[in-house]
């Protein structure tokens, strides 16, 4: 029973049950069975022990989506250390913050290295090592180790449910990123929840399109698949490529994939401009990490002939919180993120009282997948953990069928003369226009109303849509007080690593430029 309470125990069970099934492939390079992956992880774990990594140590990893990352991530948590996956595109200053805040003792990179990460590690006096695997039959090489490790050292280690296995930072779309420690129990619980709601089995196969340094790609794409005995494919380029996505999906008989709305839009646009001769028969398509406009959901379903299931997740819940069900388990509702999965969820008012159906309040949850608290941040913990619940900072309501509908971040709601406006609702209307590719609504200070609503859009390729047309469309589809007063037309919008538009940064940017006729690009 103890093994099912840890991710490492769960993966060991799967390797024993499906030793010869394909676990992990890198397109055109590697095909690893579950037995072989288990051997490689145990071998890499013995290298880490020989290199002085101890239980409780913190190990940062910055890799593209590679087999080395998967093996070293699993090896780090196997030796009861804490893994900190970091975006390889960070600047040296960003690496310095994340390495310092996580209290990392070791930095692992690919053999090619990462100049910015290594500079930050050197400044902080953190040891750097490279990990490489040249072929499926070889062993992982760790640059720290020059002698034979003890092959029996790992077998003596017992992973505990309370072990801090993963340390991530929140995306910081409304505030400074907060450090989130997640235990083996948190990881195992989330993997079981994801497996359960999507009925993942050894017959499933997926291609990873999201970065594995983020909780969405790591938990929903990789670990839930490995926990189900399913097959996982990593793109040869180490990241998502629209040009190879469908060929990988076909070659490896993919049955589903998970992505953020930005990537769904890219996949859809490519389908419309360069359709594939044939598409795989998918059980479902999953969308998470940002709101998916109902119009985009409908286009995806029409294009690829599979149900598109929108889900709700956050780092503090080890990803999954709620999801629309598979068709055989109930309807999936466009505009809703579905029903709670494997945890308690409630809508609370500011006094901690539960709200009835169709009444908005803060989305709160509790369960074995939820973090025990932010690291070294008593102020954030006091605010987030109240009345026996974790408070998400999201505003939402349950409909009479128990489906959750999100209204927006509490801090992002626009208060226009006392009328509370959800920017997500305005986003959805904007994205339903056929000439708009991306859109984001945001609040700006206003002398008359306190706050006024503005928006920024990226036109679809080839479109020459103008502000007047956007305003006309909004007036037709929104109440008058929700219509953006100003429309900015741009060719780029700032996003997090997973494609979530950074509403706060957009608002700050356009507010600063509101008096100028020409709006510079982000970062200019």
Kindly report, residue by residue over 261-288, the tens digit of the pLDDT: 989 999 999 998 999 999 999 999 999 9
Calculate mean pLDDT across residues 62-80: 98
Residue 518 pLDDT class (50, 70, 90 cuts): very low
> According to the model, what pLDDT value does residue 365 have?
98
The three-class DSSP label of residue 12 is: helix
**Closest CA relative to residue 203, chosen from 225, 188, 187:** 225
Tokens of 452: 């006024």
Q: Is the pLDDT of residue 219 over 60?
A: yes
Question: How many angstroms separate the CA atoms of 67 and 212, rounded?
Answer: 11
Question: How many angstroms separate the CA atoms of 288 and 306, rounded?
Answer: 16
Compute φ and ψ for 319, nearest 5 degrees.
Answer: 85, -100
Residues in the chain: 524
Tokens of 71: 């093996």
pLDDT tens for 451-497 read 899 999 999 999 999 999 999 999 999 989 999 999 999 999 998 87
Residue 208 pLDDT class (50, 70, 90 cuts): very high
> According to the model, what pLDDT value does residue 168 have?
98
Q: Is the pLDDT of residue 126 over 50?
A: yes
Asked whether this chain's domains 2-395 and 413-513 adopt the same fold, the reply is no
Calculate mean pLDDT across residues 378-389: 95
Q: Domain 413-513 belongs to what topology?
A: GMP Synthetase; Chain A, domain 3 (3.30.300)
Q: Is the pLDDT of residue 239 over 70?
A: yes
pTM (predicted TM-score): 0.88
> According to the model, what pLDDT value does residue 172 have?
59
Calculate mean pLDDT across residues 236-249: 95
Question: How many angstroms separate the CA atoms of 159 and 317, rounded?
Answer: 21
Question: How many angstroms separate the CA atoms of 157 and 46, rounded?
Answer: 11
> According to the model, what pLDDT value does residue 521 have?
58
> According to the model, what pLDDT value does residue 524 have?
45
The residue assigned the tokens 């619940």 is 389
> According to the model, what pLDDT value does residue 2 have?
58
Compute φ and ψ for 346, nearest 5 degrees.
Answer: -145, 155
> According to the model, what pLDDT value does residue 338 have?
98
Please provide the CATH number assigned to the domain covering 2-395: 3.40.50.12780
Q: Is the pLDDT of residue 173 over 70?
A: no
**Residue 460 half-sphere exposure, CB side, CA atoms within 13 Å?**
17
Q: Are 489 and 459 in contact (CB under 8 A)?
A: yes
Q: Is the pLDDT of residue 64 over 90?
A: yes
The helix (H) or strand (E) run that includes residue 215 is helix 215-215
Q: Is the pLDDT of residue 43 over 70?
A: yes
Q: Are 232 and 208 in contact (CB under 8 A)?
A: yes
**Closest CA relative to residue 374, chosen from 194, 106, 93, 176:** 176
**Residue 502 half-sphere exposure, CB side, CA atoms within 13 Å?**
20
Domain boundaries, given as residue ranges, for the chain: 2-395, 413-513
Residues β-bridged to residue 231: 205
Residue 410 class from Cβ within 10 Å (0-12 exposed, 13-18 middle, 19+ buried)?
A: middle
**Closest CA relative to residue 25, chosen from 13, 34, 38, 12:** 34
Computed over every residue of the chain, the mean pLDDT equals: 93
Question: How many angstroms separate the CA atoms of 371 and 305, rounded?
Answer: 37
* Sheet strands side by side (includes 339-340): 30-33, 22-26, 231-234, 205-207, 256-259, 284-287, 308-314, 319-323, 339-340
Q: Is the pLDDT of residue 515 over 60?
A: no
The answer to which of 320-324, 384-388, 449-453 has the lowest mean pLDDT is 449-453
Question: How many angstroms separate the CA atoms of 514 and 442, rounded?
Answer: 13
Q: Is the pLDDT of residue 435 over 60?
A: yes
Residues in CB range of 246: below 8 A, 6 or more apart: 276, 279, 280
Question: How many angstroms separate the CA atoms of 127 and 135, rounded?
Answer: 26
Residue 3 pLDDT class (50, 70, 90 cuts): low
Percentage of the residues of the chain whose pLDDT score is greater than 90: 81
Residue 419 pLDDT class (50, 70, 90 cuts): confident
Q: Are 18 and 229 in contact (CB under 8 A)?
A: yes
Beta strands in 399-497 (DSSP E): 404-409, 414-416, 419-421, 436-446, 450-459, 486-489
Tokens of 155: 């077998």
Question: How many angstroms separate the CA atoms of 272 and 287, rounded?
Answer: 19
Q: Are 41 and 155 in contact (CB under 8 A)?
A: no
pLDDT tens for 332-370 read 999 899 999 999 999 999 999 999 999 999 999 999 999
Q: Are 32 and 22 in contact (CB under 8 A)?
A: yes
Question: How many angstroms separate the CA atoms of 332 and 323, rounded?
Answer: 9
Q: Is the pLDDT of residue 516 over 50?
A: no
């Amino acid at each position: 029973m103890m093994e099912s309470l840890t991710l490492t125990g769960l993966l060991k069970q799967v390797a024993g049950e499906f030793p010869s099934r394909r676990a992990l492939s890198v397109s055109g390079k590697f095909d690893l069975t579950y037995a072989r992956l288990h051997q490689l992880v145990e071998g890499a774990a013995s290298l880490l022990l020989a290199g002085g990594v101890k239980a409780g140590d913190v190990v940062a990893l910055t890799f593209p989506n590679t087999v080395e990352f998967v093996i070293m991530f699993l090896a780090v948590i196997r030796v009861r250390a804490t893994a900190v996956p970091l975006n390889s595109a960070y600047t040296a200053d960003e690496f310095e913050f994340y390495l310092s805040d996580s209290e990392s003792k070791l930095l692992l990179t690919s053999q090619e290295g990462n100049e910015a990460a290594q500079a930050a590690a050197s400044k902080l006096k953190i040891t750097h090592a490279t990990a490489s695997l040249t072929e499926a039959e070889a062993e992982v090489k760790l640059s720290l180790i020059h002698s034979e490790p003890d092959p029996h050292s790992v077998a003596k280690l017992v992973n505990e449910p309370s072990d801090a296995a993963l340390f991530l930072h929140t995306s910081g779309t409304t505030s400074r990123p907060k450090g989130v420690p997640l235990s083996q129990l948190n990881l195992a619980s989330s993997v079981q929840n994801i497996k359960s709601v999507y009925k993942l089995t050894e017959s499933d196969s997926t291609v990873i399109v999201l970065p594995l340094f983020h909780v969405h790609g790591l938990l929903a794409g990789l670990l839930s698949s490995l926990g189900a005995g399913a097959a996982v494919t990593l793109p040869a380029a180490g990241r998502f490529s629209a040009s190879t996505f469908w060929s990988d999906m076909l070659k490896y008989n993919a049955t589903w994939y998970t992505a953020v709305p930005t990537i769904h839009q890219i996949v859809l646009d490519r389908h419309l401009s360069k359709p594939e001769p044939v598409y795989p028969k998918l059980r479902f398509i999953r969308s998470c990490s940002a709101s998916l406009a109902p119009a985009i959901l409908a286009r995806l379903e029409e294009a690829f002939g599979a149900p598109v299931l929108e889900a709700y997740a956050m780092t503090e819940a080890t990803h999954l919180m709620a999801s629309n069900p598979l068709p055989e388990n109930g309807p999936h509702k466009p505009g809703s993120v579905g029903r709670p999965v494997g945890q308690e969820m409630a809508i609370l008012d500011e006094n901690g009282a539960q709200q009835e159906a169709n009444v908005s309040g803060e989305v709160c949850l509790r369960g074995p997948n939820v973090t025990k608290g932010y690291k070294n941040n008593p102020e954030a913990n006091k605010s987030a953990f109240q009345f026996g619940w974790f408070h998400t900072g999201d505003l939402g309501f349950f409909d009479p069928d128990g489906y959750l509908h999100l209204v927006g971040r509490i801090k992002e709601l626009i208060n226009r003369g006392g009328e509370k406006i959800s920017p997500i609702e305005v986003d959805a209307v904007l994205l339903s226009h056929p000439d708009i590719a991306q859109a984001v609504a945001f609040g700006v200070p206003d002398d008359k109303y306190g706050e006024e609503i503005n928006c920024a859009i990226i036109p679809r390729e080839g479109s020459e849509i103008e502000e007047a047309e956007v305003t006309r469309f909004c007036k037709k589809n929104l109440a008058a007080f929700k219509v953006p007063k100003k429309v900015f037309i741009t060719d780029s919008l700032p996003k997090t690593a997973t494609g979530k538009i950074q509403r706060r940064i957009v608002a700050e940017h356009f507010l600063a430029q509101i008096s100028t006729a020409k709006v510079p690009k982000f970062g200019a």
